[in-house]
Amino acid sequence: MTDDTARHRFLSVAENRNIQGPYLIICARPGVSKRLADTFLMRLYCKKGGCGDCADCRKVTDGHVDIMRLSAPKVAEFREAISFIAEKAYEGGYKAVVIENADDMTDAAANSMLKSLEQPPKDTVIILQARSASGVLPTVASRCAAVYLAPEKNAVRAIADTLKADDTAAHILSDLSGGYVDEAALLYQDTGFWDARSAVLEICQKLLSQKSMAISAYADCLEANKDRLLPLLSVMQSYYRDIHVYMKTNNKNLIINRDQTDSITNAALHFTSGAISNMISAILKAERRFFFPVNFRLAVEKMFFDMLEEKNRWKK
């Protein structure tokens, strides 16, 4: 089933009020699956079929009395969800439970929800979101209708054509969005993101050249862009990955951040692949931390400290 077909069939369930059991959205980009789930719920609750502007639609994203949202819930949290869906809906006629990061649930939590997945109460929708099918217990996945969201096969071309973006922007957006056009569109249309990207790329370059461990200003930058944190961490990964790729291939055509070609090729002359690989690993570790409740400032500062330590340890 193509990505468009999967979306269409899933959304038609809400339009036709033909809910049959729970649904499992599988997508490598959590933001993409969240927007699809929200669109589904808007079509379910909105009297205009999901207009996106009315009070009912705004409640879906801002907080709806009949929607419970959980992230990798523990057993106790899912017990609360069971009590929640057992109650009659206050508005809209439907109760909904949305479980993000379902592939991060413990086995005990996943097993505690099996009965509810097998026989959900009438007028109840349960939507699970996961980055990959392999992380979801087979006993859970088998009870859900799977909705697979795949990236575009020729993402650069699709993004360039859809967004009327130039070649450099299309390559950058394809990399940052994982090939999902709607994710790329959000970044492309966010003028603040491009300013933030420039600031973060400057940080990436400074990290490679500075001798001190001063990172306060860098943490300030990310803290000022909390709402764009994950895309900006992807920007950092992409920049250092370009350096690593150029080290190995000496091929400028493989560089994604083409507007940074000079700094990337220059950096490749002064660092070992171990330094760059470990700096990327530090960013990835920090990224995973932000899927859970965490002290933002401490997590960001630790990432920068770890990156500097790896750079200093492995520098040529």
Question: What are 215-272's pLDDT values in tens digits?
Answer: 999 999 999 999 999 899 999 999 999 999 999 999 999 999 999 999 999 999 988 8
| Overall pTM surpassing 0.85 (yes/no) | no
Position 14 pLDDT exceeds 50: yes
Q: Tell me the pLDDT tens digit for each residue of 295-305.
A: 999 999 999 99
CA distance linking residue 301 with residue 316, whole number of Å:
25
Position 3 pLDDT exceeds 60: no
- CA of 262: how far to CAs of 140, 175, 242, 297, 315, in Å? 49, 19, 11, 32, 19
CA distance linking residue 119 with residue 101, whole number of Å:
22
Q: Tell me the pLDDT tens digit for each residue of 77-91.
A: 989 999 999 898 988
- Phi, psi at 124, each rounded to 5°: -130, 135
Mean predicted lDDT score pLDDT of the chain: 89
Predicted local distance difference test score (pLDDT) of residue 132: 87
Predicted local distance difference test score (pLDDT) of residue 91: 83
How big is the CA angle at 34 (ends 33 and 36), to the nearest 5 degrees? 65
Predicted local distance difference test score (pLDDT) of residue 2: 45
Fold of 190-314: Zinc Finger, Delta Prime; domain 3 (1.20.272)
Predicted local distance difference test score (pLDDT) of residue 151: 81
Which residues in the chain are classed under CATH 3.40.50.300? 3-148
Q: Tell me the pLDDT tens digit for each residue of 16-32.
A: 888 878 999 998 888 88
CATH number 3.40.50.300 is the correct assignment for the domain at 3-148: yes
Per the CB < 8 A criterion, the answer to whether 215 and 298 are in contact is: no
Predicted local distance difference test score (pLDDT) of residue 4: 61
Q: Tell me the pLDDT tens digit for each residue of 164-201.
A: 999 999 999 999 988 888 889 989 999 899 999 999 99
Higher-confidence residue of 217 and 316: namely 217
Predicted local distance difference test score (pLDDT) of residue 124: 92
Q: How confident is the model at residue 315 (pLDDT cuts 50, 70, 90)?
A: low
Percent of the chain at pLDDT > 70 equals 97
Per the CB < 8 A criterion, the answer to whether 99 and 136 are in contact is: no
Which residues in the chain are classed under CATH 1.20.272.10? 190-314
Q: How confident is the model at residue 7 (pLDDT cuts 50, 70, 90)?
A: confident
Predicted local distance difference test score (pLDDT) of residue 1: 42
